[in-house]
Amino acid sequence: MHLENLDDDLRKLLIDTTLSSMKKNIILIGFMGIGKGTTARAYAEKYGSFIIDTDDLIESKTNQKIKDIFEEKGEKYFRSLEQDCANWIESSVEHTFISCGGGFYNVNNLKKLGTVVLLDASYDWIYNRLLRAENSRAKLKKRPLFSEPKKAKKIYKSREKDYKKVADVIINIENREMKDIIKEIHSGSYI
Ligand code: S3P
């Protein structure tokens, strides 16, 4: 196909689509508390990549804690901040390992941001991981949607299939060592 024979709009669309499908980021998704941030930090330490976290970006942009945003402005507003964050990543971020808040998989341009890698585990495993953590109370407290375990389990059930639908790669992490998990992510050279 000769690009010069196409009309300008069509040519631009084709180039934009090709470029965005080539975006080289790892987009790490998964349920609250599964360890996306920990995985990102371990990955960065081992492979020297840059990492960012969507919740951290939102907190620094708004100068507010996620918990306070939920309390003061509500979940819908928080989701709009996630979409802003996704738009910025799409336009400005490359070659970066991005750990995402548990609901970030719903942004409308997720697949344009990079290779979507899902960390997967059962609800009980995730909950026990949080309970066993050194700063367990703080970890639960900072997550407004984890304030009641029963409700969190419902959210888990309602998202389970959708996480898998949007993922390019699914990694079950139950009882696996971190070094193996990050090796598996790296072996695909997604960045
Ligand atoms: C949320 C997950 C949280 C945070 C917010 C909402 C969710 O991030 O974005 O509390 O909807 O699952 P973590 O997945 O890092 O807990």
Q: What is the pLDDT of residues 61-119, one digit of tens each?
A: 999 999 999 999 999 999 999 999 999 999 999 999 999 999 999 999 999 999 999 99
Which residue's C-alpha comes closest to atom 1 of ligand 1?
A: 102
CB atoms within 10 A of CB 175: 7
30 CA distance to ligand 1 centroid (A)?
9
Ligand 1 site, residue 30, Cβ cutoff 6 A: no
CA–CA separation, 40 and 43 (whole Å): 5
Nearest atom within ligand 1 for CA of residue 145: 10
CA–CA separation, 56 and 190 (whole Å): 22
CA–CA separation, 132 and 116 (whole Å): 28
pTM: 0.88
Longest CA–CA span in the chain (Å) reads 62
Task: Give CA torsion, residues 66, 24, 114, 95, to 10 deg.
Answer: -10
Domains and CATH numbers, the chain: 19-121+161-186 (3.40.50.300)
Tens digit of pLDDT for each residue in 135-162? 888 888 889 898 889 999 999 999 999 9
Ligand 1 site, residue 55, Cβ cutoff 6 A: yes
Query: Which has more confidence, 8 or 162?
Result: 162
Q: pLDDT band for position 20 (50/70/90)? A: low
Place of tokens 């920990």: 38
